[in-house]
Amino acid sequence: MTASVTAKSSYMEDAGAAFSSYGLWIMAFKRSGQAFVAAIVVLLAILTSASAEPLRVVGFGDSLMAGYGLGPGEAFPEKLEAALRKKGHDVVIANAGVSGDTTSAGLSRLDWSVPDGTQLVILELGANDMLRGVTPDITEKNLDAMIASLRQRGIAVLLAGMVAAPNLGSDFASTFNAIYPRLAEKYGLQLYPFFLDGVAADKGFLLADGMHPNAAGIDRMVENFMPDMEKALAAARTAGGAPAD
């Protein structure tokens, strides 16, 4: 009888210890589960915050980008941003245009003009090279170097092309005009072939100098540019500016 009681007592102690260990395990599991859920909540909050950030764009170019002769808020980047926001795009476009810039000048200031965190650059340079008779090979090398640098930083590029003035001759024009399509093909870029398309030959859209767009001209440029810009934004959101395979 004593042995039976002792055995039963030992069994109860073992069972109690087992249930106690099981209870501790359950508590630990619950705590780890709570910690896991908390970590997921924090991660989702971070991802939601990141996705809520506007897509950051830089308009990098010359006087055509800077808004030469125009009033506040009338330059191309500002009006393009307004048009995109009106269509529901959460985007911020910084104006990094400098009047008179050649591709050489642009290359020299690229790194500090395009801040970290930029996701897309509208690259619009070459008009002043053309007007000054810069050898097209130099223009192409400078543009190539800028594109390569931006892609290396993971920044997508929308290339805005330029067309040579007719008075520069057919040889110069054929060489110069081929620069932008060739670079777009090389890097797999979205190309807008002629930045002044629909404006250059219409005095109603130009300032008195006959070269720079007026406010109405900028509106026309933005309207024409929008389809390519929206494609570039979609690509920047999904793939960024990673170098093509």
Exposure pattern of 106-127 as b/e (b: 16+ CB <10 Å)?
Answer: bbeebeebbeeebbbbbbbbbb
Given the residues 62, 89, 101, 212, the one annotated as active site: 212
CA-CA distance, 54 to 46, in Å (whole number)? 15
* CB distance 60 to 96 below 8 Å: yes
DSSP type of residue 100: T
Give me the catalytic one of 116, 171, 209, 245: 209
Provide the H-helix boundaries in 93-214: 103-113, 127-131, 136-152, 170-177, 179-187
Q: Is 63 a catalytic residue?
A: yes
Which of 62, 63, 89, 101 does the annotation list as catalytic? 63
Please choose, from the candidates 166, 227, 161, the residue with its C-alpha nearest in 3D space to the C-alpha of residue 197: 161
User: In one letter, which amino acid is 113?
Assistant: S
**Catalytic residue list contains 209:** yes
> How far is residue 50's CA from residue 113's CA, in Å, rounded to a whole number?
23
- Number of Cβ atoms within 10 Å of the Cβ of 91: 20
Reply yes or no on whether 212 is catalytic: yes
Catalytic annotation, residues: 63, 209, 212
